[in-house]
Structure 1
Amino acid sequence: MADLAIRQDACELDFLALGALVHRLDPGIIPFRKARSFDIHVSGGEYNVAANLADCFGQKTGVATAMVDYGIGELVQARVREMGVKPFYKWFKHDGVRGPNIATVYSDRGLGVRPPVVFYNRANEAGAMLKPGDFNWSEIFAKGVKWFHSGGIFAALSETTSQVIIEGMKAAKAAGAITSFDLNYRAKLWASVGGDAKGQETIAKIVEHVDCLIGNEEDLQKGLGIEGQDVEHKSKLDPDSFFQLIDKATKKFPNVKLVATTLREVHTTNRHDWAAVLWLNGQKFVSPTMALDVVDRIGGGDGFCAGLIYGLLNGKTPEQALRLGWAHGALLTTFPGDTTMAKLPEVEALAKGGSARVQR
């Protein structure tokens, strides 16, 4: 992808993520208050992209994150190894009682007219304690990294996590890596560190160092402070208003070369219409729309992000890269858990279906 100037030389890592790891307790379709057992999924908005790229797409990926020396930490490490992601851990010692902890996400899947319910325990979270200087970026980037990625959930965890992102972004740019940021705007998280004004101020400082933005209309409006249509009362599958927002975003941040997102119209918990859009250096691309039968919606956006980045890293056209992201994100919603169980031939076969149109 010449427009993004992706490195073509031999690099140790195709992709490196920076963010907090969590473990998600999933009782399936049973509401948590009635649960007697649950599956454990290892997740994290930034990590998920690295795991998907490694496991499905065969890319060499890594994650820079906090790790705690207790049983949950050991479980998380095993899952990271299983997905083929190279870890760069900042270690924290657990005191046996209060932490520091790897955060817990509680999330049932809902069913039909009953939506999924998600809540958290992020108390004394090791990931929130990460600060500048915790990672030796010059050493990490010395062997070559093509793409560096972080996100808004990690940025909102504490005063210092956004500083780590900026430190990593600067090191990535200096080393010739493409940088991307998933806005993932969560008002509840930003409320704990200063509210929306603080969130927009912080994100603006990060986006100055970003080549590629991932985020839906609400993310762009709330995260970047850009005015747009009322996202609660319009079609979720209309790409035109999204492209209008992108024009405003790229005027505010002219360094941004790519903006992409999924478009999702939720009819019931298990029946969605699904599409995706890509803006790349002024060119606009729209995927087909498909009807999805959803098993577990969490992680679909990260699945899209992984497929898109795989396409861009491997010289696909923008339309092909968008299709791969759209297809992989769709497939990911058919599996339980936050990370992929898809195989590349399955993604490629689905990506070839339908017809895409280019908006000029």
Structure 2
Amino acid sequence: MTGKVLSFGELLLRICPDVDGQWLEENNLPFYVGGAEANVATALALWDVPTGYVTALPDHFLAQQLVDYLKSRKVQTDAIYYHGDRVGLYFLPKGKDLKNAGVIYDRAHSAYADLKPGMIDWDAVFEGVSWFHFSAICPAINQAVAYVCLEALEVAAQKNIFISLDLNYRAKLWKYGKEPVEIMPALAHHCNLIMGNIWAANKMLGISLDEELIANLNKESLLEQATLTSQEILQKFPKCSIVANTFRFDYEQGIRYFTTLYNQNELLVSHEYLAPKILDKVGSGDCFMAGLIYGYYNELDPSETLEFATAAAFNKLFIPSDATTSTVADISKTVEANV
């Protein structure tokens, strides 16, 4: 594939207070640059895929520092739209006891949340682009941003640009009176590759889920459901030819992770990874998505693509940030060690 991969989403700062409140005593508040689509863009740039990123940011020094950060990681930023006053934030505490401490979003009236159709010149933005990526987090913010997504997809489809969608579900974001299933199918209609999991596909696209079949989380049953989910997605959304699903389970003894890829009427299943302890779950799915794009962009065999993406996602679980720092060589070592 030639041309660049363009990702669209909100650039965020993740603020990480500890649950014990020690940050107040130490005047020390760790942070990371984040945002699902930015994580995809920085991973692809690290892996030498020509990569652009489009978002909306205010025109002030903080935003410029963030843009410089992306540029330093070889992400093209010339398509960023400048307006408004705020950079979006989210707070995710760190520490041992996180049971009652969930994510807190502070994204209302950010530059990205205040986007409206007609603001971004998508014809110009898509110049030289062969792949467009976005996630279900974008239309979760508000109806106007959902319309902006649709506007982008319609232009991309007209230009025969390959489109990928990550069905990441964020219950705390869908607060504007619409259920995901009322918004997402119209967007998925334009997509060539849809990634998520069997539960997200049910929640966001109305895809059937046999609760009885998967009640015990038996792997064979999960794979059967992954096949059914993938086939139904292909049937409902004819433009889609590739469906990927991730399976990550947390147990007292550690984490279990494997993925599937439905391609050309065949369900491919990745190596299953087990680990007693991880460092950071944030961005693992984004890394898997980036791995899929990397594989298809470089025309790798589908099985090779799936194993690369899965290993990339697994490696991310041990990197304390939103974006991966694993190189292609690092990921290839993980694959080779587990074949």
User: If the length of structure 1 is used for normalisation, what is the TM-score?
Assistant: 0.86
In structure 1, C-alpha distance between the alignment counterparts of 2:100 and 2:328, rounded to whole Å: 30
In structure 2, C-alpha distance between the alignment counterparts of 1:46 and 1:70, rounded to whole Å: 22
In structure 2, C-alpha distance between the alignment counterparts of 1:105 and 1:33, rounded to whole Å: 17
> Deviation digits for residues 228-254 of structure 1, max 9, x if unmatched?
134995428532212212222222222
SS of the aligned residue for 1:128 comes to coil
Q: Partner of 1:288 in structure 2?
A: 271
Are 1:244 and 2:240 matched, yes or no? no
Distance of aligned partners of 1:66 and 1:303 in 2 relative to their CA distance in 1, 3 Å threshold: same
Distance of aligned partners of 1:112 and 1:351 in 2 relative to their CA distance in 1, 3 Å threshold: farther
208-217 vs 226-235, greater mean Cα deviation: 226-235
SS of the aligned residue for 1:256 comes to coil
In structure 2, stretches of 5+ residues that fail to align are none
Matches within 5 A, 1:164-313: 164-190=148-174, 192-196=175-179, 199-230=180-211, 233-235=215-217, 237=219, 238-268=222-252, 271-292=254-275, 293-313=277-297
Distance of aligned partners of 1:127 and 1:251 in 2 relative to their CA distance in 1, 3 Å threshold: same
In structure 1, C-alpha distance between the alignment counterparts of 2:272 and 2:325, rounded to whole Å: 22
SS of the aligned residue for 1:189 comes to coil
What's the C-alpha RMSD, in Å, of the aligned pairs?
2.2
Out of 78, 91, 97, the position equivalent to 1:106 is 91
> Deviation digits for residues 44-88 of structure 1, max 9, x if unmatched?
111211111102x11111111011123432332232123221112
> Deviation digits for residues 86-145 of structure 1, max 9, x if unmatched?
112111243xxxxxx111111123448868732111222211111222222222223x21
Equivalent position amino acid for 2:258 in 1: A
Are 1:54 and 2:39 matched, yes or no? no
In structure 2, C-alpha distance between the alignment counterparts of 1:115 and 1:334, rounded to whole Å: 23
* Counterpart contact for 1:62–1:85, Cα < 8 Å: yes
Regions of 4+ moved over 6 Å: none
Distance of aligned partners of 1:62 and 1:236 in 2 relative to their CA distance in 1, 3 Å threshold: farther
Q: Partner of 2:116 in structure 1?
A: 131
* Counterpart contact for 2:84–2:114, Cα < 8 Å: no
In structure 2, C-alpha distance between the alignment counterparts of 1:111 and 1:308, rounded to whole Å: 33
In structure 1, C-alpha distance between the alignment counterparts of 2:67 and 2:20, rounded to whole Å: 26
Equivalent position amino acid for 2:334 in 1: L
Instruction: Give, in angstroms, the shift of residue 193 of structure 1.
Output: 1.5
Distance of aligned partners of 1:333 and 1:59 in 2 relative to their CA distance in 1, 3 Å threshold: same
In structure 2, C-alpha distance between the alignment counterparts of 1:296 and 1:233, rounded to whole Å: 27
Are 1:117 and 2:105 matched, yes or no? no
Out of 127, 133, 143, the position equivalent to 1:159 is 143
SS of the aligned residue for 1:338 comes to coil
In structure 2, C-alpha distance between the alignment counterparts of 1:41 and 1:141, rounded to whole Å: 28
In structure 2, C-alpha distance between the alignment counterparts of 1:167 and 1:224, rounded to whole Å: 19
In structure 1, C-alpha distance between the alignment counterparts of 2:95 and 2:259, rounded to whole Å: 24
Aligned residues: 331
Matches within 5 A, 1:9-28: 10-11=2-3, 13=4, 15-27=5-17
In structure 2, C-alpha distance between the alignment counterparts of 1:315 and 1:164, rounded to whole Å: 30
SS of the aligned residue for 2:52 comes to strand
In structure 1, stretches of 5+ residues that fail to align are 1-7, 95-100, 356-360
SS of the aligned residue for 2:54 comes to strand
Equivalent position amino acid for 1:258 in 2: I
Are 1:39 and 2:30 matched, yes or no? yes
User: If the length of structure 2 is used for normalisation, what is the TM-score?
Assistant: 0.91
